Structure 1
Amino acid sequence: MRLALFQPDIPQNLGAAIRLGACLGAEIDVIEPCGFPLSNPALKRAALDYGPLAKVQRHSSWSNFLADPARNEGRLVLFTTQSAVPFQTFDFSAGDTLLFGRESTGAPAEVHEAAQARLYIPLQNGARSLNLVTAAAMALCLATEQTDAWTG
């Protein structure tokens, strides 16, 4: 199971995603450019000492991410408010990559077009969105449970 972040804007979210991946055994794909330098101290603070446990793959562009051989292992599953499929009804597979768009603008059309599945997380009426890493944790936990991939 992989967790991919498309051009993240907030270093603390990327740091928390690295921690999430390290704790749950998910590889992290960072699709650049990011909205901050990857050497940002806030990123390092958020990741704490989980860096050595994390498996992080940086991709200099969307096309480089798509060309990575790891992309052949499963489906690209985009989480987006522009979906009609609730995530809890989806059947995840062990090789899936759970993809989340930019915090500020979401995912552009070419990302939507490349995804084999597009899912949303249902929210209460009037609620606009979850924090990126909160949504990623919900998705990763469900996918990990469905695929019997819990470790530890």
Structure 2
Amino acid sequence: MSSSSEPLMHVVLYQPDIPQNTGNIGRTCVAVGAKLWLVRPLGFKLDAKHLRRAGMDYWQHLNWEAVDSLQEVQERLSDRTWWKLTKFATRLLWDAEFEPGHVFLFGSESNGLPPSVRDASPECNLKLPMYEEVRSLNLASTANTVMYEAVRQFGGLP
């Protein structure tokens, strides 16, 4: 995907902790033409050595940006529909209708999304179904599921 083309969707990781999860999510972003936004602070470094160690050898193909605050991304993508993924949602992923250009926000592996973010526009909160015995799902698995559900709803890749 060239950097000048419009991303199919936007994936925002709020303060991700684990580089391998970010790497897997980034790989899926490359596969589907999504832009990845990383909201600092990050739990890892973005230098070449650390990226290689996390298996991110395709990073040069990724449309991505690191920003200092969630507010910065919200301002830059204010004209978009935002979806927040949280285990505290009451609405299932399958009940939402996605369109190209939508934004998917995921919290950190250790803390999820802050309550202030989750509580703002709760109608935009989504979750994957799971039994109560499971505390949470892996961030990369969740993000990949969400992106491919969006692609499925779009009717495939352009």
Aligning the two structures, in what range does the TM-score lie when normalised by the shorter sequence?
A: 0.7 to 0.9
Q: Deviations over 1:35-94 (max 9, x none)?
A: 2222274433334321122100111112212222xx134211000011000101211121
SS of equivalent to 1:18: helix
How far apart, CA to CA, are the structure 2 residues paired with 1:17 and 1:125? 25
Question: Structure 1's 116 and 45: CA in aligned 2 closer, same or farther, altered over 3 A?
Answer: farther
Structure 1: which 5+ runs fail to align? none
- For the residue of structure 1 that corresponds to 2:54, the secondary structure is helix
The offset of 1:110, in angstroms, is: 3.0
> Is 1:101 the equivalent of 2:141?
no
User: Are the counterparts in 2 of residues 2 and 27 from structure 1 also a CA contact under 8 Å?
Assistant: yes
> Which amino acid in 2 is paired with 1:122?
P
Q: Provide the rounded CA distance (Å) in 1 between the counterparts of 2:140 and 2:36.
A: 12
Matched residues, number: 149
Post-superposition CA distance 1:98-147 (Å, at most 9, x none): 11001001111332216761000011341222110100000000011112
The 2-side partners of 1:10 and 1:126 are apart by 23
Quote the Cα distance in structure 2 between the aligned partners of 1:78 and 1:125: 20
- What is the TM-score of this pair, normalised by structure 1? 0.88
